Structure 1
Amino acid sequence: MTAFIGPEAIVKKRQEYFYPCTSYFYRKPPQLVRGSMQYLYGHDGVRYTDFYAGVSVASCGHCNPYVAAKTAAQLRELQHTCTIYLTEQNVELAERLAAVLPGDISRSFFCNSGSEANEGALLLARMHTGRRKFIALENGLHGRTYLTMSVTGLAMWRTDPELAKDQDVAFIPRPFEQGGDNEAAARRSLAALEALLAERGSEFAAMIAEPIQGNGGIVVPPAWYFPEVKRLLGQHGVLLIADEIQTGFGRTGRMFAMDRWNVTADIVTVAKGLGSGIPVAAFCTTNEIAASLNRPSASTFGGNPVSSATAIAVLDFIEGHRLVQRSEELGAQLREGLERLAAEFPEIITDVRGEGLMMGLGISEDRPELGARLTDDLLEGMKNQGYLIGKNGVGRNVLAFQPPLVISAADIAGMLTALASELAALEEQGEGSGAKEAAAGGESSGPSPTSAAPANPEGR
């Protein structure tokens, strides 16, 4: 039997060898040692049903036998070459992506992470338009490189304070207002974009946006919003970059979230779910726009045989097991259950939002500090009941449900039952009890928005 060092020893080593910015979920975190589809297992044999999937990564489940077999077979044949050599796997992957990407998008540049994909997309936009500046939505997240942090509007992920002086990025309000009228918020966002373009449209290369903001709190715009955004940008020759890193490959009940609104962006960035746990990413565009990136460029590990073979297997599995359709169907079950809980616990739950298997549950969002503490209490309680859930939002007070797309209806029903019991316990104690407990001692599941050490691995 394998001997594990245990959570306490891991925490001690992390404190000694990791950077202080690296933290973790839970006051009493488990050591995870094994995964199987929608399940993860602790060192003590406890099974957890995963409702976060490594922030939308394990699209086909953990250690999916079909995907893992294809990965292992490729590892035994050819593990690595750069794109300066010819291999079959990456061109097959590019061809497969062209078949599922929207519109005329058929060119892919492969890299390793969402940050790198977004960085490349921003560079491509500059090369194509000859312009330098960008537009982004407030409270979006696009990566950890310097340029992608510059277009990130979520304060806790703008690590360098000098980013505040960046003159190349203009932020506009997002189409969302907590506790308000989202239709009106979307109109204000669009009006701000229109005014910005009227004044300075010729300065901007592109607008980058997540179709559904993930770390910003699972924010879904009105259906008309992105079609209007695309129309306005087109009038001024400004490209639209769709950051589909969390939302792509079936997560929202469509292959890509922009498909929900029949919007074809000029550039699409992908990562996370495409590799279902193996690093692979790409920025994808049309023949015309791709022709502008014609100076020598490469990503050493981008499109390597193993990541490419894995991604092909992921696309096979998504298609063969109808995971896009399953996401829509099971997402409806999840939404119905969460809305039922919202009606039962209105003092704790302020909102239910999302699409497909990307759902958010706002926790006391009208009182952000309390909501953040109650969210931590719920994460801890659900972990103790065998369910791993994420959190996000500007105030870190949104429960995030982004499970592997292989999750079952029974898993969702069980999770909802467990969540109901945790909410009932909080209500019975009085909604302020979470704040008292957190203040009394014990490590929280994550920081307040002003904490110096972000608690979950949401960087790209």
Structure 2
Amino acid sequence: MQGGRIARRGLSRLAAAVETAAVAPPRMPDFNHVPLPYDGPSAAEIARKRAEFLSPSLFHFYSKPLNIVEGKMQYLFDERGRRYLDAFAGIATVCCGHCHPDVVGAIAAQAGRLQHSTVLYLNHAIADFAEALASKMPGDLKVVFFTNSGTEANELAIMMARLYTGSHDIISLRNSYHGNAAGTMGATAQKNWKFSVVQSGVHHAVNPDPYRGAFGSDAEKYARDVQEIIEFGTTGQVAGFISEAIQGVGGIVELSPGYLPLAYEAVRSAGGLCIADEVQAGFARVGSHFWGFETHGVVPDIVTMAKGIGNGIPLGAVVTTPEIAQVLTRRCYFNTFGGNPLCTAGGLAVLRVLEKEGLQANAHAVGSYLKDRLRALQDKHEIIGDVRGTGFMLGVELVTDRQLKTPAKDEICRAMEHMKEMGVLVGKGGFYGNVFRITPPLCFTKEDADFFVAVMDSALSKL
């Protein structure tokens, strides 16, 4: 009898151990970095000041907002020194990794010598970076205008297209996001991001969205809508067409294959210029190519960029041809901080790190691996309606009904809370706010990808 009781107790302990192992949270990969001690204000104190002194339009993720005080490569640290895997990278901004020593070193060296002068004087930092940036562009795209953000870059690009063509009409895509200033808000096509102010001369074409779009993946039908906008909504002449290669804020939406060449052809036949918004997809994030538009086999007339260009530095740019660039000589165009030596020195360091460390190849290899693992997760979890994107610009759309594609808006918020508790930070977006935006620093490893998938798997299992 006693031996039987001992045996049963042993089996009970074994069962308990198995159960504990089954629910044990995934283990984060090892990382050799000790964050500095933090003695600043608490999260509660910062939240109080933010509520009192900052814009009431600001919002945050999570029921208890995180106080992030330090970053190192693909990881972030809170006020208590807890480490988090960063799968959002400050909204697809940190490409080389947080506080990359080469980028920090370049900024510090420039800050110690000259923080700011003006483009009215000569300085090598802006010229060196412009030359390096132009070397990354195809065709005759080699004249660079520096700005402070993606919104500014898109504002400038739209103005240049209107000046060059003499037309006012711009075509953009529904579900797009191009910024929150006057002109770019007009090009943005989601009510979530638009205020009731004058937004003239923009026509929004049917979005070539293979998952939710009216025509599935039929690129010709979507392109026909662009042609009909030109014929029935304009004089027959347009200023330009602006689009992202992958819609970021819109929920990592890939455009139907074959669409951009057809849309570009229609717009150019109407005298317009083609603008590629590379604010999120640029700088090696898509992995297979350096620029998102290259995945579609097109060459734009104007390219805009920001975010990854500076690894977190306030920096943006517009790159175009010498002929188109001439339109800004008709008057004085000036940007006080565009081309600031501190920012451009940092930007040049980012380009060099991307090349030296093979981060584009890493984004392609690890991003493809991560996408395959996410698709396997889709087979397991009915709530995953779609997995899409390329490289380190991936989206996972959650739905409560796969047939009806009903957005799982509440569920994604709960899943994000679970993931945060297990040490993973991820973004969300899409018109309905039901898409995981997975845009990590390009130094993300396969071990990070495995940990990320394990955490997402566990979080979705808890819903």
User: Normalized against structure 2, the TM-score is what?
Assistant: 0.88
Whole-Å separation in 1 of the counterparts to 2:454 and 2:359? 24
Aligned to 1:78: 114
Return the offset for 1:221.
1.3
CA contact (8 A) 1:247 1:256 kept: yes
Q: 1:154 to 1:185 in 2, by over 3 A?
A: farther
Aligned to 1:187: 220
Letter in 2 for 1:407: F
Aligned pairs for 1:156-235 (under 5 A) are: 156-158=192-194, 160-163=195-198, 166-176=199-209, 178-179=211-212, 183-184=216-217, 186-199=219-232, 200=234, 202-235=236-269
Aligned to 1:266: 301
Aligned to 2:285: 251
Aligned to 2:274: 240
Return the offset for 1:155.
1.3
Whole-Å separation in 2 of the counterparts to 1:201 and 1:319? 46
- Which structure is higher in RCO with an 8 Å CA cutoff and minimum separation 6? 1
Q: 1:70 to 1:296 in 2, by over 3 A?
A: same
Aligned to 1:405: 442
Q: Structure 2: where are the runs of 5+ without partners?
A: 1-36
Whole-Å separation in 2 of the counterparts to 1:143 and 1:278? 17
| Residues 157-207 of structure 1: per-residue CA shift (max 9 Å, x gap) | 11x2235xx341111111015456764454332111011223435442011
Q: 1:270 to 1:365 in 2, by over 3 A?
A: farther
Return the offset for 1:4.
2.7
Whole-Å separation in 2 of the counterparts to 1:138 and 1:370? 18
1:148 to 184, 188, 191: 184
Question: Which stretch has the larger CA shift, 65-74 or 1-10?
Answer: 1-10
Q: 1:31 to 1:360 in 2, by over 3 A?
A: same
Aligned to 2:324: 289
Structure of greater Rg: 2
Q: Structure 1: where are the runs of 5+ without partners?
A: 427-460
Return the offset for 1:103.
1.9
Aligned to 1:39: 75
Whole-Å separation in 1 of the counterparts to 2:38 and 2:249? 36
Aligned to 1:423: 460
1:119 to 145, 152, 155: 155
**SS, match of residue 350 in structure 1:** strand
CA contact (8 A) 2:215 2:221 kept: no
Whole-Å separation in 2 of the counterparts to 1:267 and 1:389? 31
Aligned to 1:90: 126
Whole-Å separation in 2 of the counterparts to 1:191 and 1:20? 42
**1:394 corresponds to 2:431:** yes
Whole-Å separation in 2 of the counterparts to 1:184 and 1:357? 22
Q: 1:123 to 1:91 in 2, by over 3 A?
A: same
Q: 1:59 to 1:201 in 2, by over 3 A?
A: farther
**SS, match of residue 291 in structure 1:** helix
Aligned to 2:33: none
CA contact (8 A) 1:341 1:420 kept: yes
Q: 1:267 to 1:46 in 2, by over 3 A?
A: same
Whole-Å separation in 1 of the counterparts to 2:284 and 2:217? 29
Return the offset for 1:370.
5.8
Whole-Å separation in 2 of the counterparts to 1:157 and 1:202? 29
Whole-Å separation in 1 of the counterparts to 2:298 and 2:48? 48
Return the offset for 1:369.
7.5
Whole-Å separation in 2 of the counterparts to 1:201 and 1:184? 29
Whole-Å separation in 1 of the counterparts to 2:245 and 2:328? 25
Whole-Å separation in 1 of the counterparts to 2:374 and 2:355? 28
Whole-Å separation in 2 of the counterparts to 1:72 and 1:147? 35
Aligned to 1:376: 413
**SS, match of residue 71 in structure 1:** helix
**SS, match of residue 51 in structure 2:** helix
Question: Which stretch has the larger CA shift, 193-202 or 90-99?
Answer: 193-202
Aligned pairs for 1:316-395 (under 5 A) are: 316-346=352-382, 348-364=383-399, 371-395=408-432
Whole-Å separation in 2 of the counterparts to 1:222 and 1:147? 26
Whole-Å separation in 2 of the counterparts to 1:407 and 1:368? 31
Q: 1:181 to 1:126 in 2, by over 3 A?
A: closer
CA contact (8 A) 2:38 2:69 kept: no
Q: 1:175 to 1:407 in 2, by over 3 A?
A: same
Whole-Å separation in 2 of the counterparts to 1:104 and 1:259? 15
Identity %: 37
Whole-Å separation in 2 of the counterparts to 1:205 and 1:181? 26
CA contact (8 A) 2:129 2:347 kept: yes
CA contact (8 A) 2:146 2:338 kept: yes
Q: 1:211 to 1:287 in 2, by over 3 A?
A: same
User: Normalized against structure 1, the TM-score is what?
Assistant: 0.89
1:137 to 154, 173, 176: 173
Whole-Å separation in 1 of the counterparts to 2:212 and 2:270? 33
Whole-Å separation in 2 of the counterparts to 1:170 and 1:334? 36
Q: 1:369 to 1:345 in 2, by over 3 A?
A: closer
Q: CA RMSD in A?
A: 1.6
Whole-Å separation in 2 of the counterparts to 1:325 and 1:120? 32
Return the offset for 1:423.
1.1
| Residues 278-334 of structure 1: per-residue CA shift (max 9 Å, x gap) | 111111101111112212111101101110000000000001111111111111111
**SS, match of residue 290 in structure 2:** coil
Letter in 2 for 1:213: Q
| Residues 199-251 of structure 1: per-residue CA shift (max 9 Å, x gap) | 43544201111111011111111221111111111211111110000010011
| Residues 419-450 of structure 1: per-residue CA shift (max 9 Å, x gap) | 11111111xxxxxxxxxxxxxxxxxxxxxxxx
Letter in 2 for 1:30: L
Whole-Å separation in 2 of the counterparts to 1:242 and 1:406? 25
Letter in 1 for 2:309: L
